[in-house]
Amino acid sequence: MAAYCRGVDRIDPELGRSVFHPDAVADYGDMFQGTGFEFIDFVCEAHRGFLTHTHQIGSISIAVDGDTAASECYVTARLRAENPGGGFVDILSYGRYVDRWARRDDVWRIAHRRYLHEMDETRTIEAGGFAVAGRRDRTDPSYEVLGATR
């Protein structure tokens, strides 16, 4: 689950795709319908239009039954863009990932993801005083520690 968020936030399609089986279904309602791989390509391209973004997951429930599992986790996403009138616009989105997992060749990956959108909001803000330290690619310092596989 964390590798998905990291893959999207670092705009690392290879890492993002690693959480899905090649034939996985990605059901994001009106936003997207297709395979998990196609969704990763779609969302990474869409995120290039933002200055920065971050996804967090929490309240995770998992049920395992042999080589299959089901999970639900809550997700909060924050995306930042420049505001043409000055400052920034933050889009906050709240929802849940309801996933079916399958273990194939001893590797667990998502076989079916359904995103359930709960609410969103848009805020016009002024930036704080801290410089952005993260990078949206494999030059991000986390790759020095975790590599490209987590």
Q: What is the per-residue pLDDT across 70-80, written as a single tens digit (0 to 9) for each?
A: 999 999 999 99
Q: Per the domain annotation, does 132 fall within a domain?
A: no
In the sheet that holds 68-82, the strands lie side by side as: 33-35, 20-27, 107-125, 88-104, 68-82, 52-65
How would residue 144 be classed by pLDDT, with cut points 50, 70 and 90?
confident
6-62 per-position pLDDT tens digit: 999 999 999 999 999 999 999 999 999 999 999 999 999 999 999 999 999 999 999
* Residue 44 domain flag: yes
pLDDT tens by residue, 83-134: 998 899 999 999 999 999 999 999 999 999 999 999 999 999 887 766 677 7
Q: What total number of domains does the chain contain?
A: 1
The reply to whether 140 falls in a domain is no
- In the numeric block, the tokens 């964390």 are attached to 2
Q: What is the CATH number of the domain that holds 13?
A: 3.10.450.50
The residue segments making up the domain with residue 100 are 2-127
d(Cα 131, Cα 37) in Å, to the nearest integer?
Answer: 33
Residue 108 included in any domain: yes
- For 57, residues 6+ apart whose C-beta sits below 8 A from its C-beta are 1, 2, 5, 73, 74, 75, 97
Write down the pLDDT at residue 149: 66
Residue 144 domain flag: no
Q: Is residue 80 situated within a structural domain?
A: yes
Would 135 be classed as within a structural domain?
A: no
**Is residue 68 in some structural domain?**
yes
DSSP 132: P
The reply to whether the predicted model has a pTM over 0.85 is yes
Mean pLDDT of the chain: 94
